[in-house]
Amino acid sequence: MSANSAFSKLDALSRRLEAIEHAQSMLGVDEAVMMPVGGGEKRAEAMATLAGLYHEMATAPQVGDWLADAEAETLDEMQALALGEFRRVYTNMTCLSSEFVSRQVNARIRSEQLWRELRPTGDWKTFLPAFEGVVATAREEAQLRADVLGLTPYDAMMEQYDPGNRAVDIDPVFAGLKAFLKDFVPEALAHQEDKLARRPLKPLNAPFPIDRQKALGLVMMEAIGFDFDHGRLDVSHHPFCGGVPTDIRMTTRHTEAEFLTSLMGTLHETGHGLYEQNLPHEWTHWPVGRARGMAIHESQSLFVEKQIARSPEFWEWAMPHVRETLGEEAVAGWELEDVLAHVHMIERRLIRVDADEATYPLHVILRYEIEKDLIEGRLAARDVPEAWDAKMREYLGLSTIDNMKDGPMQDVHWPSGALGYFPSYTLGAIIAAQLWAAIERDHPSAREDMRHGRFVALNDWRRDRIWREASRYSTPDLLKRATGEPLSARHFEEHLRRRYLA
């Protein structure tokens, strides 16, 4: 294709935008991992400048002209898909005015700063006016996007995180899962109590030296397929996966009191890293070459953490490595069942991020239902505490009516304006289980492979069906093409029954 073609101009622009994103990402990683406290002010200034430059370049008037001209050019299948995804991203970037964005950013910053100050004491009354401002601008954003995209307001917000997801498809899946879990959790807890009565929980043999924990994490990462020529593991306050596909920066955190939280966090982030490392490198400068969205990304991290790293087969293989790396004294007297009792512990908790895989979806469904009502005007911001408490009582048998800190003020998402994001967490868990069911159908030896530390076939399947497909298709279409069926919670429910009722 000619260097003067509109598609070639968009290709050149995409490479420049990718370079800016690369710099932004590395500045963000450095800030979280090793930047001294005194560097914060200038770092914020640099990142804000780069963000402004990126937006200015990506939304310049000529970009719209290039898009229109490129759509009239003769393109091959991949170029057409790339152009379509570029158009989708461009439309979503340009449908909000600079005046609105400025107002919204101010409301979000004020709300998040106030939340950080007031969350420790749960002072909802003082926080409420700022939160009302965030909800008001979120509703305005949702309507502005909905008008341009031809979607309902909440669907227009979800589109920013998981392209193609629609509430009309998610509602019945979540309703069915919620009904299942409300019965399943008490049954699983009773089953757990009976098992612990017969075989009491063995305490972890702390302390676990940090250097040995890190060594164990690196052994597990390498075995599962992480490429250390194109990535590394560091430590930060909150674990995350950042960087760029050719230079993945993962972090974890450690405590000498126990090693399982750190190991599971490391493996969770490894799932994110594997996805990024295996995207089609020839297209990473175009939106079509990026990860599809939050639900698919979360499905890849949860696949590694839940389907692989919390399975009995994985631990059959892992225990000798744990003994070798942490030291025999770390697991002296332990058998497989003793480790699994910790790994599979279920408990009703108020805090979402501390929840296990059986109760976690109820936390997410609660937030999904509330934020949808907030965006669509059926619920006022001031009434969130009562709605939250009613759902928490119904779903988990817990109350937060006098505990705002551990209730509607526990997450940073809403104070910072991220509405439309929460369903991605549980959609990721559902998708991970659905992918595993498809893999077992295609590779009946999958569990036996894990028992012997063989993860190549699991990675090859996901590389072909998910990773290399990047953003060629919408979230629902990608899942259906990978597994042969639309989103279904059936496989997740079967996964929970097998793990917690056996």
Q: Which residues are catalytic?
A: 269
Beginning with the edge strand found earlier in the chain, give each strand of the sheet holding 231-235 in spatial order: 231-235, 247-252, 241-244
Calpha distance 95→272 (Å, rounded): 30
Which amino acid does the sequence have at 79?
A: Q
Q: Is 42 exposed, middle or buried (0-12, 13-18, 19+ CB in 10 A)?
A: exposed
Do 488 and 180 contact (CB within 8 A), yes or no? Answer: no
- Which two three-digit tokens encode residue 153? 């307001």
Q: Which two tokens stand for residue 115?
A: 């939340």
φ, ψ at 398 (rounded to 5°): -125, 155
Q: What is the identity of the amino acid at 363? A: H
Q: How far apart are CA 238 and CA 93, in angstroms?
A: 29
Q: Give SS3 for 473.
A: coil
- CA–CA separation, 334 vs 322, rounded Å? 11
Give the CA count within 13 Å in the CB-facing half-sphere of 293.
Answer: 29
Backbone dihedral angles phi then psi of residue 216, each to the nearest 5 degrees: -65, -45
Check residue 289 and report its DSSP letter.
G
**CB-based contact 374:384 (threshold 8 Å):** yes
In the chain, the amino acid numbered 435 is L
Burial of 168 (0-12, 13-18, 19+ CB in 10 A): exposed
Q: What is the DSSP letter of 255?
A: B
Q: Are 239 and 220 within 8 A, CB to CB?
A: no
CA angle, 259 then 261 then 266, to 5°: 95
- 269 and 250 in contact (C-beta within 8 Å)? yes
What are the residues facing 232 on neighbouring strands?
249
What's the Cα-to-Cα distance from 245 to each of 242, 274, 456, rounded to whole Å? 9, 9, 19
- Residue 242: alpha-carbon gap to chain centroid: 12
Taken in order 455, 240, 352, 435, the sign of the CA dihedral is negative
